[in-house]
């Protein structure tokens, strides 16, 4: 594990599968709370909390949605959220269902990883 001056970290090991896991580095001047029901809640008075989920689950979003706080969800969420032109719907129905159910807004609207075979 890499230690970086003036940063702390939180990690979560991958369960039930070999390898993997996640580590998040946070500047020491960032106020946050580790919540095992939501993972990391970055406290930003007056601007809304930033949530860094290690995995997105319907139950986690239910907890957040019931709060009175404004929130943002961010992280390295690797999902193909492009509309499949052949069927006229999203390639990932689980994510699109969550976006619809919780009235979320997807800020990234074009591919962020493009190569010769896919985007």
CA 90 → CA 2, 23, 85, 93, distances in Å? 38, 29, 9, 6
Whether 53 is covered by a domain: the verdict is: yes
Residue 20 lies inside a defined structural domain of this protein? yes
98 and 88 inside one domain: yes
DSSP bridge pairs for 7: 27
pTM: 0.57
* pLDDT string in tens for the chain (119-residue length): 688 999 999 888 877 777 777 788 889 998 888 887 778 888 887 777 777 766 667 777 888 788 766 777 766 666 766 666 666 666 677 777 888 888 888 777 777 777 787 66
> How does strand 71-73 pair with strand 83-84?
unpaired
The DSSP element (H or E) to which 26 belongs, if any, is strand 22-27
Q: pLDDT at position 116, please?
A: 80
Whether residue 25 sits in one domain with residue 57: yes
Q: For 97, phi and psi rounded to 5 degrees?
A: -65, -40
Our count of domains for the chain comes to 2
67's tokens: 């709060």
* Segments forming the whole domain that contains residue 35: 7-77
């Amino acid at each position: 594990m890499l230690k970086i001056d003036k940063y702390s970290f939180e990690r979560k090991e991958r369960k039930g599968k070999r390898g993997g896991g996640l580590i998040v580095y946070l500047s020491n001047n960032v106020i946050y709370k580790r919540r095992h029901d939501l993972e990391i809640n970055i406290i930003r008075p007056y601007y809304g909390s930033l949530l860094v989920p290690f995995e997105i689950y319907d139950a986690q979003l239910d907890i957040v949605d019931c709060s009175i706080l404004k929130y943002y969800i961010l992280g390295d969420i690797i999902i193909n959220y492009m509309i499949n032109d052949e069927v006229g719907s999203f390639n990932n129905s689980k994510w699109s269902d969550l976006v619809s159910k919780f009235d979320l807004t997807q800020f990234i609207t074009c591919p962020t990883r493009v190569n010769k075979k896919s985007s």
